Structure 1
Amino acid sequence: MSSKRHSILPAIDRSGPKPPVNFSSSLTISDNAILQGTHSITMQSETVVHPRSRFESNLGSILIGRRCIIHERAYIGARPADLDTAKPGGVALGDYVVVEVGTVIEAGDTEIGEGTTLQVGCKIGSGTKIGRHCTISQKSVIPPGEHLPDYTVVYSDGLRRLDSRGVTDMRKLGLVKQIAVLKKMIPSNPDKFK
């Protein structure tokens, strides 16, 4: 077996303190995920964490709800751009939240409501409160301290509308099926982080 790297991505930086963790027994977490910090990181049942996703709990605790999917290169608990005006605190994700590739969620009492989808490359500012069943479209930026009501869709340079499709139950069912497939595809090693 060759010792050459097969990935074109840079090596994973695992420096930093190892946080206290509280994992559900049904969690699926890749051993290539990155968990750093001094505050606790809690992940509840049937959540799936892809390789190369990053959780940093230096500014506060991180709580990931039930049946969430955290995709590759998502960064949860990032240091806010303006640390002087940021609120103290961590990040809380409700149940059935999907955080897609490259999304950054800044720490600082940030809350993402149940059933919300954060699409590719979003940036969620410190202290933001996003309601239930919202959709933040790709590359959208939500400024620090913003409050979004339930069922809000943010798209195309910050435009907003309310989602009145009434498909929340179907989205949950689809997410449960996606989690079942991902649990078979992603080798899980939660003991590595304890």
Structure 2
Amino acid sequence: MATLKPPTNTHRSSSSSSGPPKAPLKADPTATIADNVVFQGIYPVTIGANTVIHPRAKFYAFEGPIVIGDGCIISEKATIGAPPTSSSRSTSPSPSQSPTESTPTPKKEFMIRISYFVTIGPSSTIEPGVHIHSSATIEALAIIRRGADIGSHAKVCSACEVAGGSVGEWVVVYGSGPGMRRKRARAAKPISPAVVGAALTAQTALPASAPAGKVIEDARLMVLQKEREVLGRMLVPAVRKK
């Protein structure tokens, strides 16, 4: 499958030389990144294998590094991080500052970590300091506030807001605003992602011994894998045959 190569120094980031700095970017060669994704900041942004970044997504690494795991989908107009402020663009003193002048206290880093198989919906916002664990889903227009911790296989529904704190594993946040929470049905022993991937590669069904309560979630992950493959082909211009 054709894939878009990681952005080079000429990759568009919608910032001029006089504007906000471009964030250092390290993307796996198998990642698919739309040409008009914005990468700004002073900390590094890392994109994992087979992750798909939709057009007009924005990454603001002004308060800490951003790490995106393998197999994620970052949808259109999603915002990861926070736009720059006058104090967040630089943490070091000006080169013209004399040694006798007071130097600013180093700022605390607020790293954003998004683990593998996470889906971030369109126009959603992930603020600095957030950790989203594996296979979680953040739907469209959701807001995850600073310092929040979203557990594995959790789901934050459209237009909900998680104002810090934690959302447990397999918990669904639904409704409007802070919303309500409930546990998703699951089995005691999940199927590992390796087993799911092997079944998908071989185009075979999941093992017959798979716990009934986990089959739906594993099927969802398999569908997401297919979705990533299709998105990769859609975002990459067709290669003309000579």
- TM, length-normalised to structure 1: 0.83
Q: Please give the secondary structure, in 2, of the residue aligned with 1:173.
A: helix
User: Structure 1 stretch 18-27 or stretch 51-60: which is displaced more?
Assistant: 18-27
Task: Please identify which structure carries the higher strand content.
Answer: 1
Match of 1:147 in 2: 166
Query: Is the 2:142–2:161 Cα contact (8 Å) retained in structure 1?
Result: yes
Given that residues 69 and 97 in structure 1 are in contact (C-alpha distance below 8 angstroms), is that contact kept between their aligned partners in structure 2?
yes
Which amino acid counterpart does residue 168 of structure 2 have in structure 1?
Answer: P
Report the Cα distance in structure 1 between the residues aligned to 2:29 and 2:184, rounded to whole angstroms. Answer: 34
Identify the match of residue 123 of structure 2 among 75, 87, 102: 102
Identity of aligned residues (%): 32
1:82-93 pair list within 5 angstroms: 88-93=109-114
Shift of 1:168: 2.2
Q: Does structure 1 residue 16 correspond to structure 2 residue 23?
A: no
Q: How far apart, in 2, do the equivalents of 1:119 and 1:150 lie?
A: 16
Counterpart of 2:126 in 1: which secondary structure? strand
Q: TM-score, normalised by structure 2?
A: 0.67
Match of 2:98 in 1: none
Cα distance, 1:22 vs. partner?
1.2
**Partners in 2 of 1:66 and 1:88 — Cα distance?**
23
1:51 paired residue number: 55
1:176 equivalent to 2:225? Answer: yes
CA RMSD of aligned residues (A): 2.0
Alpha carbons 1:29, 1:50 under 8 Å: kept:
yes
The higher relative CO (CA closer than 8 Å, separation ≥ 6) is in 1
Gaps of 5+ in 2: 1-12, 88-107, 187-213, 238-242
Q: Are 1:28 and 1:47, in contact at CA under 8 Å, matched by a contact in 2?
A: yes
Structure 1 residue runs without a partner (length 5+):
1-11, 189-194
SS at 2:35 equivalent: coil
1: distance between equivalents of 2:79 and 2:180?
Answer: 24
Number of matched pairs: 171
Deviating beyond 2 angstroms after TM superposition, the runs of 4 or more aligned structure 1 residues are 12-15, 165-168
Structure-1 residue corresponding to 2:199:
none
